[in-house]
Amino acid sequence: MNGALAIDVAGLNKRFGDKHVVRDLSLQVRAGEIFGFLGPNGSGKTTSIRMLCGLLRPDSGHGTCLGFDVVRETAAIKREVGYMTQRFSLWEDLTIRENLDFVARMYGMRERRAAVARALDELGLGERQHQLAGALSGGWKQRLALAACMLHRPRLLLLDEPTAGVDPRARREFWQEIHALAAGGISVLVSTHYMDEAERCHRLAYLAWGQVLALGTGPEIVAAQGLAAWRVAGPDVDALARELAAEPAVENVTSFGSTLHVTGHDRAALAELAARRGGLGGAAWTEIDPGLEDVFIALMQGRR
């Protein structure tokens, strides 16, 4: 990862009718960086990605993607970007090789056979190349979609919730591929709902209601919120959660299996609560470092 910027935009806005979907998006992504977009459904993640890659014209704002103007040079951006959508969008009645060959024809690639062979090899698809895409598991479909994105050797990958519905092993292997691509200088912008995937990104932006609420590395975002957190374990955490939610110092109570995460911004008041409630009913209180999920829940509640 170096200091050159793959994306540098400021003040991007997009409306659909009377709905303001993206509000004043300002963002910088360095070359070779994996940048994560997080946020609830309808937060503006997909719209933002489409504006950045030239698929959607912003109503206002300015900036560049790979050195090209995001308003005036969208065709040039599209030639340099690989875009992987949320849903598998290749042809299920074609084989893996036929799909890649068809995509290469769409790009008008002169050396398409060599490009297809390279993609099959680099993504480990060679042994399955004659298998119909419709018969693939979610993980293999995902790998095929990534191979199709990489055929034309893009400098930027835009991945829109690429691991939705994929098993944990396939997700881990997919992220190993992404980090290998980034190490080779490719910039990656990825939207995700998974906190473990967010922690794999170099930097993050959290969006809600079309606005960026937090921006930075995972540790930077956590530290900036000043949130205190306690883990509470006990025999009846469901009943305990209802009791704790009524405490003035408690801003959020989240269940994690047989334990609770209790969070708030008043560290001293939470410590007093832990001292007062610790041991009651067999509950054990332990102060912990808040995680990204704790922080994002707090951000959402604060914005409401």
In this structure, what CATH number is given to the domain that contains residue 252?
A: 3.30.70
- In this structure, are 50 and 191 located in the same domain? yes
Check which CATH number belongs to the domain holding 78 and give it.
3.40.50.300
Q: 163 and 40 in one domain?
A: yes
Question: Do 65 and 183 sit in the same domain of this protein?
Answer: yes
Q: Is the pLDDT of residue 281 over 80?
A: no
- Domain boundary (215, 241, 276) is at 215
Q: Are residues 180 and 87 in the same domain?
A: yes
Q: Which of residues 215, 239, 271 is at a domain's end?
A: 215
Q: How many domains does the chain have?
A: 2
Clarify whether residues 107 and 24 are in a common domain: yes
Averaged pLDDT score across all residues of the chain: 89
Q: What is the pLDDT of residue 302?
A: 61
By the 8 A CB rule, do 295 and 222 touch?
Answer: yes
* Mean pLDDT confidence for 51-70: 92
What pLDDT was estimated at residue 2?
Answer: 58
Same domain, 244 and 197: no
Residues 160 and 250 in one domain: no
Q: What is the pLDDT of residues 10-26, one digit of tens each?
A: 999 999 999 999 999 99
Residues 45 and 123 both lie in one domain: yes
Whether 239 and 185 share a structural domain: no
The whole domain housing 108 covers: 5-215
* Residue 54 pLDDT greater than 70, yes or no: yes
**Residue 65 binned pLDDT confidence (cut-offs 50, 70, 90):** very high
Q: What is the pLDDT of residues 166-215, one digit of tens each?
A: 778 888 888 998 999 999 999 999 988 888 888 899 999 999 888 999 99
Q: Does the pTM of the predicted model rise above 0.85? A: yes
Tell me the per-residue pLDDT of 229-251, one tens digit each, with 9 for 90 and over.
999 998 888 888 999 999 999 99
- 136 and 275: one domain? no
Do 129 and 258 lie in a common domain?
A: no
Share of the chain above pLDDT 90, in %: 56
Residues 43 and 112 in one domain: yes
From 166, 189, 215, give the residue that closes a domain: 215
At 116-165, the pLDDT tens digits run 999 999 888 999 999 999 998 888 888 899 999 988 889 999 888 887 77
